[in-house]
Amino acid sequence: MSILEEQIKQLAKLILDSKNIVALTGAGMSTESGIADFRSPGTGLWEKVDPYEYASIDSYIAHPTKNLEFMLETGKAIFSARPNKGHKALTKLQKLSKLKGVLTQNIDRLHHKAKTKNIVEFHGNVMEAKCLHCGEVFLITNMINQVLQGRSPSCIICNGMLKPNAIFFGEPLESETLRAADEMIVDCDLLIVLGSSLVVYPVAFYPQKALSLGAKLAIINIQETDMDSLAEVVIHEKIGEMFPKNVTIIEKKGYNYLKQ
C-alpha cells in the first residue's frame, strides 16, 4: 500500500471514529474553484500586490476608489465561482451526520453555495456591503452599482461610507463570530483543516484550541504548516482530489474498507 493510500485510510478511520467533526477551511479550499489564495508560491495574490495598500481599512478609507477598483477586479473570480468537489464532499459528510459545521476564513460564500449548514465566517464575506457608520448590511450589488456609476458608495439610511462586509487588515474580528466559533469546537472530536497556511491569527489558534479541548487534528494542505507535527494525519495533496475519496469511503464502505 502506498503512503498516500495509508494516509487516506488513517483519515477515514478518524472520521469513522468521530461524531462531532468540524472543518476549518482556508483559501486553499477554493483554489480549485478558480479563486487564487494569498500565499501559494507563484500564484498567491500577495506575491502580486501589497495587502496593506489594497486591503487594509486605513487604505480603504484614504483611497476608496483605488481599493474598490482592485476589489472589483479580484472579486470577479469570486462572484462567478462555483463550489468544487471539496466543498461538495463536506456537504455530503454533513448529510451523513458526521460534520457538525464549518469554520471558514474564506469570504467567497462557496460553502453556502454548496449548501453546507452551520458555517462561521471568521472574515465575513464579499457578497454583502456594510455601512461603516450605522452598521447596516446590504447586498454587494447595491454598492457595486454605485461604484460603476462613479459615485462613492454610501448608505441609503445614513449616508455613511459602505465597504465590502469582509474583514480588512487592521479591523478586529467580530466578537459574536469568535463566540460562535468557540461554541462550535467545544464538543468537537475531530478538527479537519482544509487548505489553510494557518498563519493568520486568531484563526490559527483554533487547531490548538480544539486539541486542548480533547479533539484530534487532521490536515489536508499542499504545503506544510506549523501545526503538521500536532496532527494525527497530514496529507500534502489537493483537497478536491483527496477529500472526496475519504467521504466516499465513509458513505459506501465504512469500517470494512479499513480491513482490506
User: Catalytic residue positions?
Assistant: 123
Candidate list 4, 49, 134, 139; residue touching Zn ion; CB under 5 A = 134
Going across the sheet that includes 21-25, the strands are 119-121, 99-104, 21-25, 190-194, 216-220, 233-235
Q: Which stretch binds ligand NAD (CB under 6 A): 88-96, 135-143, 181-189, 192-200?
A: 192-200
Distance from the Cα of residue 171 to its chain's centroid? 18
Q: Which stretch binds Zn ion (CB under 5 A): 89-97, 125-133, 198-206, 208-216?
A: 125-133
Distances (CA, A) of 240 to 28, 76, 93, 243: 10, 22, 14, 6
Residue 158's binding partner out of ligand NAD, Zn ion, none, with CB under 5 to 8 Å set by partner kind:
Zn ion
Measuring CA to CA, which residue among 190, 222, 208, 179 is closest to residue 86? Answer: 222
Candidate list 131, 144, 191, 231; residue touching Zn ion; CB under 5 A = 131
Minimal CB distance to ligand NAD: which residue? 28
Q: Which stretch binds Zn ion (CB under 5 A): 3-11, 119-127, 130-138, 193-201?
A: 130-138
Q: What is the DSSP string of 104-157?
A: E---S-HHHHTT--SEEETTEEEEEEEETTT--EEEHHHHHHHHHTTPPPB-TT
Residue 160's binding partner out of ligand NAD, Zn ion, none, with CB under 5 to 8 Å set by partner kind:
Zn ion
CB of 131 to Zn ion, least distance (A): 3
Q: Is 108 in the site for ligand NAD (CB under 6 A)?
A: yes
Residue 237: CB atoms within 10 A of its CB come to 15
* Side-chain half-sphere exposure of 22, counting CA atoms within 13 A: 26
Q: Is 57 in the site for ligand NAD (CB under 6 A)?
A: no
Q: Is 67 in the site for ligand NAD (CB under 6 A)?
A: no
Per-residue x/- track, 84-123, Zn ion (CB under 5 A): ----------------------------------------
Q: Is 159 in the site for ligand NAD (CB under 6 A)?
A: no
Measuring CA to CA, which residue among 70, 69, 78, 21 is closest to residue 194? Answer: 21
- Which residues bind to Zn ion, rule: CB under 5 A? 131, 133-134, 136, 155, 157-158, 160
Which residues are at the interface with ligand NAD (CB under 6 A)?
26-28, 30-32, 35, 37-40, 44, 105-108, 123, 195-197, 199-200, 220-223, 238-239
